[in-house]
Amino acid sequence: MSNMGICRYVYCLCIMYVFSYQVSGNQLQSEERYRKRSVTVVRCDLLQGKFGVNVTNNTDKKREVIYEFNYRLDDETIALRVTVASLAASKDNPVLFGVRQQHGTMSWKLPFNDPEHTSTYNVVSRNLCPFPVTNKNSSAMYQTIFVDVYSFSINLLPFSILVDFVKDFNLRIDEIRNVNIAPSEPKYFMYTFPDNVDSVLVHAKSDSDLCMIFSVQDVKCPVFDLEQSVEFSGIHQTMTKQATITVKKSNYDQKSFYIVTVLKPSDYACNGKETTQAPDYSRKKQLTLQVHGGISSEMYVWPILAALAVFIIFYIVAIVQCRRKRKSCVCSCVEKEPHDFCCNLFTIAIFYGLPVVQLVMTYQTGLESSGDQDICYYNFECSRPLGVLSSFNNVFSNIGYILLGILFLLVVWKSDLSSENRQGNLGEETENKDLLYAMGLGLVMEGLMSGCYHVCPNRSNFQFDTSFMYILTFLCMLRVLRCLDPNIAPTARNSYSVMAIVVFISVLGVLFGTNIFWILFGVVNILATLFLHLYVYFIGDKHEETCCDVLKKICNCMRCMCDHLSKPQCDCRLAMLITATLFNLLVAICGLVIQPSDFASFLLVIFIGNLILYCVFYFILMKCKLKKKIAYSRIVCVVLACIAWIAAIYFFMAHLTSWGLTPAQSRVGNKDCMVLDFYDAHDVWHFLSAIALFLSFLVLLALNDDLDPTSDQSRSEQQQNNDRNTQI
């Protein structure tokens, strides 16, 4: 490179250096001027606060106020409550509050906005997390808290602060505590288990319908006492007028827990309806808290033994009756029809029951892990937990269905064996009791499925409790029809197919109970009633016919029915057909007009109503027409069954819970235990309905065997009556 080129290169470098220095210098001067303009001097005032004294002050972006409060720990847990207010605070210029203590911090702002931004509040009052007594030592005897107040407003904003001790922070057994809360003013209290108490029931009651969260949390910080965080810890329920939570000592290491009450800014979570509130509406709720001692595990024994003793009595009576009527005979093997009803029902029970058990245990596990007690519709006023079951009494009370179902199977087996021996010696064909075995198995399965449903009763698993109710009612109707004429009962395959359709309709009715559904249901109900009645009463048992053949026969039957109507004599079957059809038509119209919320129960009423019509038709028309004398023992059994049914229905109408409502609304109907401080009205319904079903099954078992034993009527006359029965 030449000397001239080197000089030019050095010259360019110098020019670039000078230019970069000038630019950087200008930038530094600009940043310095910006820092001088943006720096704001904030004065921090540290003031000594006094407990129980409401102090007022001002704050803006140039003045931060800090209050210092000192106190000494006591032998009992001490809770502090901070109440702040600022009417001048706004959304654009809020006042910020922060509280510092040894084991945590918390902060909020005024105005206070709820998560849904439906209301704002210029007053906030909250408890500070208490210092745990178990961690108290000599170095922590004296505690200090700081309350910081600041605002970015250019104008002074007035505020007030009140810090005071929470009076009667610790609840005691059977003590009634009056509490007032607001969305920005939650409250919580502490309860410690005595040495002789294993579980307690925490009650909350109010005359107000405002929606709130009722929670039980472990003694630790932070305490979740805001609407957006209260469901993060512990056990919680939505509440309007009452709520109850059962708490076990074994679930809490410190043998203590907090009772938290938080008022929600709207009532949607409790009633499912959006409400509009006036801007100046003051949303406050008054309630009472009370802790009752629960029953110990040892006190479960007597109610359980008492229930078992009641049903053991039925076994003893059955054994005594069996010994009195025992006769020596020679067994004779008589060929019988296969047990299609019982075998098919057993298969259905296995495939239906196993997923049910798995599902309800998943519900129970979810309830325990989440703490959300809105999942299950218990009677929380009388919920007796045991092991993994949150309401053991509601599950165990179904034992009556199982025990009496097994007993009925044994009675049918004994009756079947005696019939084989007696009729085998006479060279006659024995009666096929397949339907009766299916009824006994259905009663056992109703107990198991009802127990599974009550593990966690809710809207999603209601069919577990009702499915076998439909099956039992339908089997009873088939039993009555078979007693009228053995040739008019449908096959097991067709019967269970109809039941599957009924369960499907029940699910649709609960999930989609609209006007269109009720219209379609009424039409389907009437058409199905006509189809089944025409098939049963005019066609008979046509096992080999297809659906098309059945429809052709029904068309012919319609013409036959018109011929029957033109005849002057009374046809019992035609009377039954018309009566049952009119009943179902009336029920369909009532359902369309009323549209009850509990469609599953409404559908069950239809089945029970048809069953009652069949029984009335059988006992009044058939018995009176054939001049049969009903044995005294049968009359007693019928009367006892009616009494049991009336008593059972009375307790069923108590309506302790209803999954047709929201969980909070359902809890309003919760009531205390009524028997042995263990069983509620619904448990009594379980016991009485099991007894009523068993007695009703006994009546159906001997439906055609109730001739008076003192009568001189011979077996040939009985056969003539059976022939007349078939002709009718």
| 388-432 tens-digit pLDDT | 888 899 999 999 999 999 999 998 888 777 665 555 554 444 456
Low-confidence winner among 213-217, 659-663, 680-684 (lowest mean pLDDT):
659-663
Predicted local confidence at residue 548, as pLDDT? 56
Angle between helices 399-425 and 681-701 (to 10 degrees): 10
Is 620 strand, coil or helix?
helix
User: What is d(CA 538, CA 557) in angstroms, rounded to the nearest whole number?
Assistant: 6
DSSP assignment letter at 265: S
Dump strand ranges (E) for 152-198: 157-165, 170-171, 176-181, 187-192
Q: What percent of the chain has pLDDT over 70?
A: 75
Predicted local confidence at residue 600, as pLDDT? 78
Residue 542: pLDDT above 80? Answer: no
Predicted local confidence at residue 82, as pLDDT? 93
The arithmetic mean of pLDDT across residues 651-660, rounded, is 86
Contacts of 10 by beta carbon, 8 Å cutoff, 6+ apart: none
Say if CB 140 and CB 102 are below 8 A apart.
yes
Residue 593: pLDDT above 90? Answer: no
| Count of Cβ atoms closer than 10 Å to residue 371 Cβ | 19
Predicted local confidence at residue 85, as pLDDT? 93
Low-confidence winner among 64-68, 135-139, 324-328, 723-727 (lowest mean pLDDT):
723-727
What is the sign, positive or negative, of the torsion defined by CA atoms of 57, 61, 63, 64?
positive
Predicted local confidence at residue 212, as pLDDT? 93
Predicted local confidence at residue 435, as pLDDT? 83
Asked if the 40-166 domain carries CATH number 3.40.50.12280, the reply is: no
| Residue-averaged pLDDT of the chain | 78
| Alpha-carbon radius of gyration of the chain | 38
Of 179 and 560, the structure prediction assigns the larger pLDDT to 179
Is 13 strand, coil or helix?
helix
What is the sign, positive or negative, of the torsion defined by CA atoms of 465, 468, 470, 473?
negative
φ, ψ dihedrals at 425, nearest 5°:
-70, -30
Taking only the tens place, the pLDDT of each residue in 474-525 is 888 888 877 776 666 667 787 888 888 888 888 888 777 777 888 888 888 8
Predicted local confidence at residue 623, as pLDDT? 61
User: What is d(CA 534, CA 547) in angstroms, rounded to the nearest whole number?
Assistant: 13
Residue 277: pLDDT above 50? Answer: yes
User: What is d(CA 109, CA 120) in angstroms, rounded to the nearest whole number?
Assistant: 11
Q: Which amino acid appears at position 529 of this protein?
A: T
Task: Give pTM, 2 decimals.
Answer: 0.80
Residue 419: which H helix or E strand, with range?
helix 399-425
Is 107 strand, coil or helix?
strand
Q: For tokens 């910081």, name the residue.
A: 148
Predicted local confidence at residue 571, as pLDDT? 57
The arithmetic mean of pLDDT across residues 333-343, rounded, is 58
- CA 204 vs CA 200, 381, 677, 690, 702: distances in Å: 13, 11, 20, 34, 53
Q: What percent of the chain has pLDDT over 90?
A: 25
Residue 168: pLDDT above 70? Answer: yes
Q: List residues bridging with 85 in a β-sheet.
A: 123, 160
The arithmetic mean of pLDDT across residues 539-550, rounded, is 50
Of 5 and 152, the structure prediction assigns the larger pLDDT to 152
Of 326 and 128, the structure prediction assigns the larger pLDDT to 128
The arithmetic mean of pLDDT across residues 454-459, rounded, is 87
Residue 728: pLDDT above 60? Answer: no
Residue 486: which H helix or E strand, with range?
none
Structure tokens given for 228: 């957006």
Predicted local confidence at residue 477, as pLDDT? 83
Taking only the tens place, the pLDDT of each residue in 300-315 is 889 999 999 999 999 9
Predicted local confidence at residue 628, as pLDDT? 61
Residue 186: pLDDT above 90? Answer: yes
User: What is d(CA 650, CA 670) in angstroms, rounded to the nearest whole number?
Assistant: 16
Of 723 and 264, the structure prediction assigns the larger pLDDT to 264
The arithmetic mean of pLDDT across residues 254-282, rounded, is 82
Is 207 strand, coil or helix?
coil
Q: How confident is the model at residue 242 (pLDDT cuts 50, 70, 90)?
A: very high
Asked if the 168-294 domain carries CATH number 2.60.120.380, the reply is: yes
Give span(s): CATH 2.60.120.380, the chain. 40-166, 168-294
User: What is d(CA 53, CA 82) in angstroms, rounded to the nearest whole number?
Assistant: 11
Low-confidence winner among 4-13, 478-487, 566-575 (lowest mean pLDDT):
4-13
Predicted local confidence at residue 488, as pLDDT? 64
Say if CB 423 and CB 414 are below 8 A apart.
no
Alpha-helical (H) ranges within 224-339 are 268-271, 301-324
Say if CB 270 and CB 234 are below 8 A apart.
no
Structure tokens given for 566: 């033109």
- Among 141, 138, 130, 84, which Cα is nearest to 111's? 84
Of 287 and 565, the structure prediction assigns the larger pLDDT to 287
Residue 564: pLDDT above 60? Answer: no
Say if CB 97 and CB 110 are below 8 A apart.
yes
Q: How confident is the model at residue 713 (pLDDT cuts 50, 70, 90)?
A: very low
User: What is d(CA 475, CA 651) in angstroms, rounded to the nearest whole number?
Assistant: 25
